[in-house]
Amino acid sequence: MAALRIIHSLVLDASALGAASDKNSPLRFQLRKAAARGTRIYTTSATLTEVLRGSSRDVNINRLLTSINVQVIDGSVGRAAGLRVGRTSIRGNVTIDALVVEVASRLPKPVAIVTSDFKDISALSDPDMMILDLSI
């Protein structure tokens, strides 16, 4: 996670948002450090549909969301995300991944996406995006 020092915009997908919601997680610690250095942290409104379930776990996620910029998905983002999927050979449902990547593409650079779905996010992302893999 040393790469967080040079990132202007950091986007969390559902797996990252879930991991960071644990106040003792290493990711949460790194996000605090990145924010202190001026990195802006984002997620998408669509990502919230993957993590919020009306359970007790929502409390930690909602607490985390107070320090994250939630980007709303509009028609322009939705259309561009669909085109992104169409340019790949990915099979399966990658709708939310494509929305996360499209939002990331519109943020101030340099930008990175934190995910445990490295393969799909990488296939959908632009060459100048950094992908930080939670699964390693």
CATH code for the domain in which residue 107 is found? 3.40.50.1010
Paired strand residues for 130: 112
Split into its structural domains, the chain has a count of 1
pLDDT band at 5 (very low <50, low <70, confident <90, very high): low
Q: Tell me, what's the pLDDT at 27?
A: 96
Taking only the tens place, the pLDDT of each residue in 76-133 is 999 999 999 999 999 899 999 999 999 999 999 999 999 999 999 999 999 999 999 9
- Kind of pairing between the strands at 111-115 and 69-71: unpaired
Which residue segment(s) compose the domain that 97 sits in?
2-133
Continuous H helices in the chain: 14-20, 26-36, 45-51, 58-65, 75-86, 95-105, 118-124
> How far is 91 from 126, CA to CA, in rounded Å?
19
Contacts of 19 (CB under 8 A, 6+ apart): 25, 27, 28, 116, 134
Q: How far apart are CA 5 and CA 7, in angstroms?
A: 6
Task: Tell me the three state secondary structure of residue 10.
Answer: strand
